């Protein structure tokens, strides 16, 4: 009888410990981002470092929208897309987009509000600034 009650208490303790343990995730929101070439009414990046995803939400102004709409009818005035990301030292990068000989990545630095594009052609790398964000917020989410 004592052995059974010990097992029950042990299982109950394990259940309580794992059932009420909290998980944390870090989320970085870069908003009010300008762009080197285009004008946006809204341009924000949400980096979820726990789920390793980047969500970009943007709305073109009318002039920029018409510029892209004349060459591509599938362009929408407002859009959102999600990319997978990974961390490398103090850098956050999207997964490679393109081919092995030529690919691009969006590059974020944890301590900066600038956004860069990294292009690689035949192992020759170039990094260019594409945007500067006026607002950077960091959230430690608890669940």
First-to-last alpha carbon distance for the chain, in angstroms, is: 38
**Ordered alpha helix ranges (H), the chain:** 2-19, 62-69
44 pairs with which residues across the strands? Answer: 57
Count up the domains in the chain and report the number.
1
Within 8 A by CB and 6+ apart from 69, the residues are 75
pLDDT tens-place string over residues 103-142: 999 999 988 999 999 999 999 999 999 999 999 999 986 6
pLDDT 10s digits, 36-57: 888 999 999 999 999 999 999 9
Residues 78, 80: Cα–Cα separation, whole Å: 7
Does residue 3 belong to any structural domain of this protein?
Answer: no
Quote the pTM value: 0.77
DSSP character at residue 77: S
Domain coverage including residue 118: 24-135
Within a domain: 68: yes
pLDDT band at 18 (very low <50, low <70, confident <90, very high): low
Is 16 contained in some domain? no
Cα separation, 5 vs 12, in Å, equals: 10
């Amino acid at each position: 009888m004592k052995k059974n009650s010990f097992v029950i208490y042990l299982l109950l303790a394990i259940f309580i410990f794992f059932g009420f343990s909290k998980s944390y995730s870090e989320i970085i929101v870069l908003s009010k981002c300008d762009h080197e070439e285009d004008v946006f009414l809204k341009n924000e990046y949400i980096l979820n470092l726990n789920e390793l995803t980047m969500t970009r939400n943007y709305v073109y102004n009318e002039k920029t929208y018409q510029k892209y709409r004349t060459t591509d009818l599938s362009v929408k005035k407002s859009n959102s897309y999600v990319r997978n990301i990974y961390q490398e030292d103090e850098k956050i990068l999207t997964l490679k987009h393109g081919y092995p000989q030529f690919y691009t990545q969006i590059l974020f630095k944890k301590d900066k509000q600038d956004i860069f594009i990294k292009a690689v052609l035949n192992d020759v790398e170039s990094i260019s600034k594409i945007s500067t964000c006026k607002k950077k917020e960091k959230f430690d989410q608890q669940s």
